Every structure is written in structure tokens, then in C-alpha cells.
Structure 1
Amino acid sequence: MYLEAKETARLYKLLSDKLGSDTTEAMFKYIDNKTERSVEATIKTLATKEDLAKVKYDLSKDIGASVKWMFIFWVSQLAVMLSIVVLMLKK
């Protein structure tokens, strides 16, 4: 942190010598505001533990429903196949 402050002060001095203190101050404020908005936007898109728990719960619920329907499908397919085999053996 100390090096960043020292480097920022040096950069401010170099720029204010070339551009003037008003322009340099405006540029630093612009960069600070832009950085702050970028961080806030990033924070808004991050998932919280609650978000991840909800997704995990929803996913497990969906998988459970899918497995239930797959099981029903397999059982009905097995019943149809057995019926066909029984009908063929009777003839």
C-alpha cells in the first residue's frame, strides 16, 4: 500500500507539472470514479453463498424429477418388451 501511495504521489506530481493541477485532479477523480463503478458492477455480478445454495437445491430437485421420469420410462419400456415376448411365445 505504501508503494502505491508513493507511486501515485509521484505520478500526480509529474502530471501536474505537465498538465496543470486542475487537469490532473480531474483525471485522478475520473479514474477513481471509473474504478469504483467497475468494482461495484463486479460485486453485483458475484454469486453469494445463498445464490449457490439455491442453484444447488434447484439442480438437485430437477435431477431428482428427471430420474423419476426416467425410471417410469424404463419400467414402462420393460413392461412393453415383456408383453411382446409373452405374446410371441404364445404363438
Structure 2
Amino acid sequence: MYLEAKETTRLYKLLSEKLGDDTTDAMFKYIDNKTERSVEATIKTLATKEDLNNGLANVRKEAADNKADTIKWMFIFWIGQIGVLLAIILLFVKK
């Protein structure tokens, strides 16, 4: 949970009274750096998830395209098989 501006100012005043300005500044810089690194790591993770979703969408599209091609070639194969079967039947009928 992020601190509001008033809370941050109040906390800074309380800490600087107890620890001194230099120590309080160093502590606030440390916390800011840690928070910034954490946010950057989260953003990288989210970007990776987005990349995975895009990749998955591409795989699904390719699978659908392959399915259509497979159905087309199955149809062509079975038409050829029927033609060969009819030719064999006609060959036996003519004899």
C-alpha cells in the first residue's frame, strides 16, 4: 500500500527528529529504489504474460489453418479413392 503525501511528510518529520535528516533521506531513497525495482520487475512479468497470450493466439490460429488444410486434403483423397474404386468396379463389370 502506497503512502499518501501527508502521511509521507509526517513520517519523514518523525523519522528525521529521531534519526536525523541524512539517515532519513538515505532510508527514503532506499525505499524508493526498492519500490521502483519491484514495479519494474512486475511490469516485465506482465509483459511476458502478454507475450505468452499473443503466442498462444498464434498457435490457435495455425491449428485452425492446419485443420482446414487437413479437411481439404482428406476430401481430395477420398474423391480419388472413390474414382479408383469406380474404375475397378467398371473394369470387372465390363468383363
Q: Aligned partners of 1:15 and 1:41: how far apart in 2?
A: 29
Q: In the alignment, is residue 56 of structure 1 matched against residue 57 of structure 2?
A: yes
* Number of aligned residue pairs: 66
Instruction: Report the TM-score, using the length of structure 2 for normalisation.
Output: 0.56
Matches within 5 A, 1:1-91: 4-47=4-47, 51=51, 52-62=53-63
Distance 2:49 2:37 in 1: 23
Matched AA of 1:37: R
Alignment partners' CA distance in 2, 1:4 and 1:13: 14
In the TM superposition, residue 8 of structure 1 has moved relative to its aligned partner by 0.2
Gapped runs of 5+ residues in structure 1? 73-91
Code of the aligned partner of 1:55: L
TM-score (norm 1): 0.58
Identical counterparts, % of pairs: 68
Gapped runs of 5+ residues in structure 2? Answer: 75-95
Equivalent position of 2:91 in the other structure:
none
